Amino acid sequence: MVYALKHPEYLREVSSDGSETFGCDQRWYRTKWQQMSGCGPTTASTILIYLQRSGRITLPVEVRERHECIALMEQVWQYVRPTARGIYLAEQFCGGIQKFAKAHEFEIACEALSICGNGKHGEERNLLRNFLLRPLQQPRAVAQTDDLHIALEFIATGLEQDTPIAFLNLASGEVRDVDEWHWMTIVALMYDQETNRAEIRIIDGSKTMSMDFVTWFNTTSLGGSLVYLLPQAEPEIIQ
């Protein structure tokens, strides 16, 4: 079964030299700190652009070209703002986006799921890691799961409602070439229930790539989060 955005072209841009980019890229931020820590607001900006282009929200910036994307990223940064630990909880991501929405006079619901890490694949914990992970060990404001099928159903539900999924990978497990402690955007899910294989298509660094979600889920030591956004009122579209 394939679940995917109805209009992936809304996140695709073609430069004058013919090169393609997809979504926003945290490397487009101005400062080094933003470039290092800005995956959360970058992912939020990518999702908001898709919702804008599909006519479901109105943003303070009409995003058509890269410089407008950067302008939106800078505005989103003011609300989806990384801490010293980055943005490592779905609650932080959702809270920031909802503050952004309120400031710009639209309403949006944030559906979130936290994925538990697999203790069998845990890494040696040093003092810094314990400091970083302490909030993950406290009672959470979002649902948590260690069930693969609940996570896959969450992704499928979001994509069926034509909204990209924000995906936080805290630890990659046995999956290679995916940054850790990092937010990305899921735009498609390919799931074969008979073989229990699931591949997600993600946007990261203005490029697209595929990832084995089952391997990640079964081997990640720290887990992560999934988030999708649902506008609460359709903006009036002038024909």
Domain ranges for the chain: 2-231
CA distance 39 to 146: 25
Strands 108-115 and 20-22: unpaired
pLDDT (0 to 100) of residue 141: 75
Task: Give the residues of the chain that fall short of pLDDT 50.
Answer: 120-128, 235-239
Q: Token digits for 116?
A: 């538990």
pLDDT (0 to 100) of residue 137: 59
pLDDT (0 to 100) of residue 142: 85
Query: Domain 2-231 classified CATH 3.40.50?
Result: no
pLDDT (0 to 100) of residue 118: 79
CA distance 137 to 164: 28
pLDDT (0 to 100) of residue 123: 47
pLDDT (0 to 100) of residue 135: 62
pLDDT (0 to 100) of residue 233: 65
pLDDT (0 to 100) of residue 132: 60
Strands 165-169 and 224-231: antiparallel
Question: Are 155 and 189 spatial neighbours (Cβ–Cβ below 8 Å)?
Answer: yes
